Copies of this chain bind each other. A is one copy, B any other.
């Protein structure tokens, strides 16, 4: 079988595994206070150009969203998100489970606009009944979005400005951050991301690691006793080194960005092949997720040889599917896939 359903079908990048292996018998402190975490944080601070950034390592995306949102929101607040945001749809209610309402707004290809956010906030405060409603206390976006689209620099700055005006944090879910930053049409760097939000995470589970997300607070805005809050969520690893070691490898010699770029080159190659074969794209984007419209019969045939992600019904006879590349995708596999399709 060929695997193109997602970007988490493989283990870890060889450099990551190598570093895990070579550091294994070095004794170290627990709970993220080890030397590997310390060094990894230093490397990330350099990469984002912010010496004072405070960094915490967590294990997975939903966990990270739950911990960050629950810890940053005040008790009367909820979080604004696109209807299609991961927290609004595919986290099994993890945000609500810990007491916080997701406040969905409309999206365009998975992205929300600063105008819509501003309108939401204005309308809320103009409504005399707003004390009976959940206060919007944060804006959540994913970069790239759930549809593989990316925000451009002016869009991100504009969103951040609205947030600053209303004194609420902008939070970026970077589960696939590398695959967004390295996209051909991206005008954002890691540094830009760090500057244009209040907290974000650098996702590694989908970009070279076995697991791991690095939460970055850039505005001296770490919640009080955040380690205790992480523990309370059941999210504090006793062997925090597992995360530190991996991030140390990924942020040495720009490995994180390099393997992201490679995945995108593979995606471009696949996209080009699909275009030549006449496939229509459901969303136009340049990141590692490709959404195409496919005939249902054709899909059935395809699924005998390829694992793909069914995304949604398109019409009575067609479906939308996702094909994804990642740091581990081989050119040969793409060639074979294109032969079959």
Contacts and interface: CB of A to CB of B under 8 A. Distances in A.
B129 A206 contact: no
B91 A78 contact: no
A241 to B, nearest CB: 7
Contacts of A205: 237-239
A231 B94 contact: yes
Contacts of A229: 75-76, 92
A93 B225 CA distance: 13
A228 B9 contact: no
A267 interface: no
A177 interface: no
A211 interface: yes
Given A96-B101, A101-B93, A225-B135, A234 B231 contact: no
B231 A62 contact: yes
Nearest to A312: B127
Is the contact region of chain A dominated by helix, strand, or loop, or is it mixed? loop
Interface string A20-50: 1101111111110000000000000000000
A190 interface: no
Nearest to A241: B11
A316 interface: no
B228 A8 contact: no
A224 interface: yes
Nearest to A73: B75
Looking at A24, A234, A236, the one whose CB has the most chain B CB atoms below 10 A away is A234
Given A11-B24, A90-B133, 9 more contacts: A10-B25, A11-B23, A11-B245, A17-B17, A75-B229, A76-B228, A76-B232, A132-B236, A233-B234
26 contacts: A1-B27, A10-B24, A10-B26, A11-B241, A14-B24, A20-B20, A29-B307, A31-B132, A60-B234, A62-B231, A62-B236, A76-B225, A76-B229, A76-B232, A89-B133, A90-B129, A90-B132, A91-B231, A91-B232, A93-B99, A93-B232, A94-B232, A97-B98, A131-B231, A132-B228, A205-B237
